[in-house]
Chain A
């Protein structure tokens, strides 16, 4: 047996030379030719990616990217909006060779994404929700977001037709401009059908508080609201509570139709699949993605859930008509005169704010017909 393990000096030397040569060859070759074919893309989520909400909407977009040829997708969930996100991006870049990163939560932007972008000027960072400012932020950073309140306006129309009590309920996390804009658009949509409709708002104080959200939903239903909607990270609990109590609901972020087969009317959904595949195609084709991307139904960044069985024909027709106007860009939600719920005029007669108007991104009022206050 010992013979089998005995090598002649010559054969050992030969093997070693060959191996050394191979190693030198490998070291000499740059990795890029092999990598150029596969684009490594990293997605970072702030919560679990199957939350029926914000993160699931992004993960569905990532899944669409995964199906494209020539890409490798990395995903990391539950990355806190702290230095952790920097570390996660670092490891995606250094260990896996990611060259395109999608940090999808609002709080990642400043300072973490900006810092990483300065450190790696040859990589691309596309962030959801931030406002990229030329001259101030690095050029390899982009920010994208959608006017989801267009879909909320349509949900409001559908909700108005379904409501018998003329009272709608809105469970919201925090009174920030994005949320207020959704509440206002939802209410304006409903009141375009019936101006006597009111929306009661309950703020829970944080993005994910399942017990408080269930309490808020029950309180609103007890007060006579018969259509509920929400702006929280995961609408699951609210939609399930509405279904249990036998009232209608409209969804947010992603489709929750399977959770409420009887009461789910429609919903405002992100269409990240389109946004992400477009971005990836640009990068693959050697085109630099634009730094600031915004859009609504027309641009395909937003979509609505298919109508539920409980939606009447009149409601479908009304909502579809308005949707068609959104699609050709002729519809403006914030057209004066509009009063806030304290009776002050916030948009004067004859004045209108189109979707891209930056004034809407600092909204700090609730429209007439909303019961609630932001402080």
Chain B
């Protein structure tokens, strides 16, 4: 074999690199959704928010020449969509899941409409940090070219966990999510808390979208997300509404997604459809293994419309 080729070592490396590269959007969307669901509301519109974030981030980076401005605008666009969701859901007898689906369609449609002129141009990309400087192997160096957004996501998860557990704001959020009546009795504005939680969740999802268009795969087109936003919403349930578990779930999904192409490139080519389906098979297996018909999912906020 050739000296530049890694052979079988390429598979674990690709899975690791894939986990780092592909997981970031999952991570941001699931952290955002985690926060929103903790307040007792589900925002299924995050798929639309992700696509909108990808588009607005790319467009802003292209127009201003500054990719970080793109990240900021993507976040703001996301929180705008989140605010819209929260405001509609604050009305009487409105189902948050239905509103979420409507917003998912609105977000993707709007992004496709506004994003038309930005499919062709190339926007400046977010710089990554070369953590692989110590290695002589080009493959390892490339695998460890880590985008700062991934690190931000990693740091954000324990911060959220700590915030939800120990700070006053976190506790208010959880009370609203666990028992709206108790929160009302204590004098908290339920809709205001949920508005803030949904807007913040939208911000994270928008930032996740900007990672797609500004880092990996790093261009804007209409098939960019292909359902990652909705997968990330499911990851939250999978991760039992725990931000730190969201990190692991995202890494698992990213790595499993990289398995198919990596195995094919080393010559394991039989049954690649099965390897490509690996993340979904994995989710199903874990969901079945951990679910129970007798009690409700551990960690699920009691006010969520799906668990109530």
* Interface of A toward B, CB cutoff 8 Å: 47-48, 50-52, 78, 165-167, 169, 200-205, 208-216, 218-226, 234, 236-237, 240-241, 244-245, 259, 371-373, 375
A210–B267 CB distance below 8 A: no
Check A218/B17 contact, CB under 8 A, given A52-B120, A223-B10, A236-B221.
yes
A228 to B215: give the CA distance in the assembly, Å.
20
Given contacts A216-B261, A218-B142, A222-B265, 13 further A-B contacts (CB under 8 A): A47-B222, A203-B272, A205-B273, A211-B228, A212-B257, A212-B261, A215-B21, A222-B142, A222-B262, A236-B221, A237-B217, A241-B217, A372-B267
**A50 contact from B119, B257, B258, B265, Cβ within 8 A:** B119
Partner of A214, one of B4, B119, B217, B223: B217
Whether B22 lies near A205 (C-beta < 8 A) is no
Establish whether residues B264 and A219, one from each chain, have CB atoms under 8 Å apart when the complex forms: yes
Interface string of B210-236 (1 = CB under 8 A from A): 001000111101111010100000000
Q: B124: CB under 8 A from chain A?
A: no
Least CB distance from B176 to A in Å reads 35
Q: State whether A165 touches B257 (Cβ < 8 A).
A: no
Cβ contact within 8 Å between A48 and B264: no
Most buried by B among A47, A204, A222, A259: A222
Is B269 interfacial (CB-CB < 8 Å)?
Answer: yes
Closest to B224 in A: A210
Most chain B CB within a 10 A radius of its CB, from A51, A200, A211: A211
Residues of A within 8 A of B257 (CB): 211-212, 215
CB under 8 Å from chain A, chain B span 97-148 = 116, 119-120, 122, 139, 142-143
A6 CB to closest chain B CB (Å) equals 51
Contact A166 B122 (CB under 8 A): no
> Can you offer 16 A-B residue contacts whose CB atoms are under 8 A?
A50-B119, A52-B120, A165-B4, A210-B221, A212-B261, A213-B217, A215-B18, A215-B258, A215-B260, A222-B10, A224-B2, A224-B6, A225-B265, A240-B122, A373-B270, A375-B270
Q: Please, how many residues of chain B have a CB less than 8 angstroms from a CB on the other chain?
A: 45
Contact A167 B262, beta carbon cutoff 8 Å: no
Query: Which residues of B line the A interface, CB within 8 A?
Result: 2, 4-7, 10, 13-14, 17-18, 21-22, 116, 119-120, 122, 139, 142-143, 212, 216-219, 221-224, 226, 228, 257-258, 260-262, 264-267, 269-273, 276
Q: How far is the CA of A48 from the CA of B276 in the complex (A)?
A: 26
Given contacts A52-B120, A210-B221, A215-B257, contact A222 B13 (CB under 8 A): yes
- Min CB distance, A211 to chain B, in Å? 6
Residues of chain A contacted by B261 (CB below 8 angstroms): 202, 204, 212, 215-216, 218-220
Chain B residues within 8 Å of A167, by CB = 2, 5
Bound state CA distance, A225 and B2, in angstroms? 10
Residues in B neighbouring A203, C-beta threshold 8 A: 264, 272
Would you give the shortest CB distance from B192 to chain A, in whole angstroms? 37
Main secondary structure of the interface of A (DSSP, over half): mixed
Contact indicator B226/A209 (Cβ below 8 Å): yes
Do B269 and A371 touch (CB < 8 A)?
A: yes
> In the docked arrangement, what's the CA distance between A211 and B209, Å?
13
Query: Residue of B at shortest CB range from A77?
Result: B116
> Could you tell me if B221 and A51 are in contact, using CB atoms closer than 8 angstroms?
yes
Q: Which residues of B lie under 8 Å from residue A215 when comparing CB positions?
A: 14, 18, 21-22, 257-258, 260-262
Indicate if the CB atoms of B269 and A223 lie closer than 8 Å: no
A-side contacts of B221, CB under 8 Å: 48, 51, 208, 210, 234, 236-237
Using Cβ atoms and an 8 Å threshold, which residues of chain A touch B13?
Answer: 222
* C-alpha gap A95/B223 in the complex (Å): 30
CB distance from A50 to the nearest CB of B (A): 5
Task: Determine whether the beta carbon of A373 is less than 8 Å from that of B269.
Answer: yes
Complex contacts, B216 vs chain A, CB 8 Å? 211, 214
Question: Which of B6, B18, B119, B122 has a CB less than 8 Å from the CB of A223?
Answer: B6
Q: What is the bound-complex CA distance between A221 and B216, given in angstroms?
A: 16
Give the CA-CA distance A249 to B31 in the complex, in Å: 37
A236 to B142, CA, bound (A): 20
| CA distance in complex: A278, B143 (Å) | 50
Contacts of B116 in A (CB 8 A): 48, 50
A225→B270 CA distance, assembly (Å): 20
Which residues on the A side are within 8 Å of B228 (C-beta)?
211
Q: Which residues of B contact A225 (CB under 8 A)?
A: 265
- Do residues A202 and B217 form an inter-chain contact, with CB atoms below 8 A? no
B219:A237 contact, CB within 8 angstroms: yes
With a cutoff of 8 Å between Cβ atoms, the chain B residues found around residue A221 in the complex are: 139, 142
Q: How far is the CA of A169 from the CA of B14 in the complex (A)?
A: 16
